[in-house]
Amino acid sequence: MTLVFTGICSHGPGITGRADLAPPDLRDPFFAAYGAMRDALHAARPDAVIIVAAEHFANFFMNNMPSFAIGMADGYEGPIEDPDWLKIPRRRVRGDAALSQRIVAEVQQSVDVAYAEEWKFDHGIMVPLSFLDPDNRLTIIPANINCQGPPLAPLARAYAFGEALRRAADKVPERIALIGTGGISHWPATPDSGRINEEWDREFLRRWSLNDKAQLLDYTDAQTYADAGQGGFEIRTLIAAAAAARGPGTVHFFAPIPIFSTGCFVATAEIA
Amino acid sequence: MSLYQLSKLLFELNRDTAIQAEFTADAGSVVARYDLDDEERRAILDADIGLLYVLGVNGQILMHFAAFKQIAWADYLQLMRDGVRDHGPVRAGVYAMTTGLDEKVAGV
């Protein structure tokens, strides 16, 4: 049946790992927005949630780097990071290999996606999950867009991946939700951590909310690197989510929170 | 220079608790499996975050390694700044430093 929910949110490891260092007047409404998305996601009663993430070398490396990949296992483990550092305990997350297989087969009609029967989650999935599924109840299908090891797939291909995921979600009888997670502007894991281009972020979120394909794709990686840092390459996941939803979006929360190393956001999109 | 090999070592270490245990017990035996030059070998055996950063290790790989080494966030950031001060700008990759040596944009 048709896709039942689409949202996007931040995933920086500092959000959980350094939560105690953030100003409560910014952190608390941000976490409340995650909580509202959790309630909306569960209210949509998804049989499975596709999380389109930009992983950070938890599974894929430059020895064999897929532009797009989908997990195809009955379970996944994460986080790979030191649990005390991320402040998220290790857990096994339920998957559904058979459902993944049907989704991959449909996605392959238009995107040459890689599949992986082994997949470990890093903060890119575990931080959102810690808010969206604290009781570990959901069935998760991880999807990844290479945003780390250039050359990266063009934005138009990320959009096409989102379209393919939507087609696949609509084709299977299960109720499928989709979450896109990545940064907007940020310079993570460098001495620049905390640098945020708020103006760039607000403009991107404006384009995302309009869900205007031409405007969403009107970035080059060179511009993004200069204006939004290497973390800005992760807009691919957000663009894929917009392509899957097709409808306009609503930004429920946005604020730069430097100790989290990113502009923090929670948004949902109408399924059209 | 074999940044790819150095990065691959850290990638495999970061995601595999068995390799982490081996590395903790005998880092040299893990490092010997990769084709590294002397500077790279020294950087990894000394867990020299600043030098690893300057050599061009992707920040995400480096951040996870620093967490594995129990290095606190503020110390991790400072070690990278110290590395740039001591060894010069980042030599490869997309994780170059764009802020000043004494600039702490997030207060740490």
Angstrom distance (rounded) from CA A206 to CA A101: 35
B63, B81, B97: best to mutate for the A interface, most A CBs within 10 A: B63
Q: Cβ contact (<8 Å) for A259 and B108? A: yes
Tally DSSP H helices, then E strands, for chain B. 7, 0
Task: Look up the CATH number of domain A5-168+184-271.
Answer: 3.40.830.10
* Longest CA pairwise span in chain B (Å): 39
Note the CATH number of domain B3-87.
1.10.700
Give me the residue from B8, B60, B106 closest to A148, CB to CB. Answer: B60
- Mean pLDDT computed over B84-98: 95
pLDDT of amino acid A46: 98
SS3 B51: helix
Q: At what angle do helices B59-68 and B3-15 cross, to 10 degrees?
A: 50
Chain A residues whose CB is inside 8 A of the B59 CB are 188-190, 230
CA B42 – CA B55 distance, rounded (Å): 12
| Nearest residue in chain B measured CA to CA from A23 | B106
Number of residues written out for chain B: 108
What pLDDT does A35 receive?
A: 98
On whether any CB of chain B is under 8 Å from the CB of A193, the answer is yes
How buried is A107 (Cβ within 10 angstroms: 0-12 exposed, 13-18 middle, 19+ buried)? Answer: buried
Rounded distance between C-alpha atoms, residue A94 and residue A75, angstroms: 5
Closest by CA position to A12, among listed A257, A249, A239 = A257
Among candidates B95, B96, B91, B97, which has minimal Cα distance to B1? B91
Partner A contacted by B14 (CB < 8 A) = yes
Task: State whether residue A11 sits within 8 Å of chain B by CB.
Answer: no
Q: Which residues of chain A have pLDDT under 70?
A: none
- Spatial contact of B34 and B5, defined as CB atoms under 8 Å apart: yes
Q: Where are the domains of chain B?
A: 3-87
| Nearest in space to B58 (alpha carbons), one of A62, A236, A134, A15 | A62
Quickly state the pLDDT bin for B1 (edges 50, 70, 90).
low
Q: Which residues of A touch B99 (CB under 8 A)?
A: 191-192, 195
Cα–Cα distance between B84 and A112 in angstroms, integer?
Answer: 41
Q: Where are the domains of chain A?
A: 5-168+184-271
